[in-house]
Each structure stands twice: as structure tokens, then as C-alpha cells.
Amino acid sequence: MTLQLCVMAPDQVVWDGPIEQAILPTTTGQMGVLQGHTPLVTALDIGVMMARTTTGWEAVVLMGGFGLVKDDRITLLVNEAELGSSVEPEQATTDFEEAKTTLADATTRKERVEANLAFKRARARYQAVTQA
């Protein structure tokens, strides 16, 4: 009763191993994947992926990308990925608060686009430490 999960960032493979279940942050909401899932392609939002291994749930921060599910193999290609266990809780919290104020203060269109991206990333890291 296992799935193979492979999380790839442009410069490294972040996760390559068996899991029991995964919850992916797709752009249209969270999606659970179990063994025997129908093959599909999905876009991933900036958010937290939860993976259930034999020992428990693990959080992985994903910075947007897409996922491919096929033959009990989940391949996620993301801009950037970080294991939840390697995120520092205090740092994530302060970053999140900072990003929130930056977004609120943004005035020009360019600033808003940038601040929004930064906010989403900070929120994902924050969620990873609070959920885990």
C-alpha cells in the first residue's frame, strides 16, 4: 500500500521515497492522493504538501509548480521546495508578519505583484510549521 513520491526543484531532488498518502495544494484546492489514483496532471499553488509516511505526517513547503500522478508515482516539479522540518518556526513567523505588512503597504502595480508572491511564500512556510 505505497506510493512513490518524487519532489524535484530545479537544482535538486528534495524527496524521493515511498509514502502512504499525499495531500497536494493544487490551485483549485487541496487534493488527496492514495494508491491506485487515476493518472492526472495538476497545477500546484504555493502551499504546503502533507505526506503520510509509515512514521507519520510530514510537511513539505512547495513554491508553486505542477504535479503528475501516474502508475502510483507522484512526480512534483516545483520552483522551490523545503522540508517542513527544516523551517525555523520563529523565522517563519516574523517573515509572515513582515510580508503581511508589505502587502498592505504596496501601492504600485509592480509592488503589489511582488508583495503578493512574497506573502504567499511566507504564508506557506508559516503554515508548514503551524500544521506540523
Partner 1 sequence: MSFAAKHLSAARSNALAGSSHVCAPRRAPVNSRTSRGDQQVVCESLKDLRDRIGSIKNTKKITDAMKLVAAAKVRRAQTAVQNGRPFSENLVKVMYGVNQRLRVEDVDIPLTEARPVKSVLLVCCTGDRGLCGGFNNAVIKATEDRKAELEGMGIRCKVLTVGKKGSTYFGKRVGDDDLVAAMDMGQAPTTKEAQAVADQVFAEFVSEEVDKVELIFTKFVSLISSKPILQSLLPLSPAGEVCDVEGNCLDANEDELFRLTTVDGKMAVERDEVITETAEFDASLLFEQDPVQILDALLPLYLNSQVLRSLQESLASELAARMQAMNNASDNAKELGKKVSGKYQRQRQAKITTELIELTAGAGSV
Binding site residues, partner 1, CB under 8 A: 8-13, 26-28, 31, 38-44, 63-66, 68, 70, 75, 77-80, 108-110, 113-114, 117
CA distances from 109 to 60, 78, 119 (A): 31, 26, 15
Supply the minimum distance, in Å, between the C-beta of residue 88 and partner 1.
16
Query: Could you tell me which of 76, 80, 66 has the C-alpha nearest to residue 6?
Result: 76
Minimum distance, C-beta of residue 3 to partner 1, in the bound complex (Å): 17
CB of 78 to partner 1, least distance (A): 7
Pairing between β-strand 3-9 and β-strand 73-78 as defined by DSSP bridges: parallel
- Residue with smaller CB distance to partner 1, 65 or 84: 65
Provide the 8-state DSSP code for 103: H
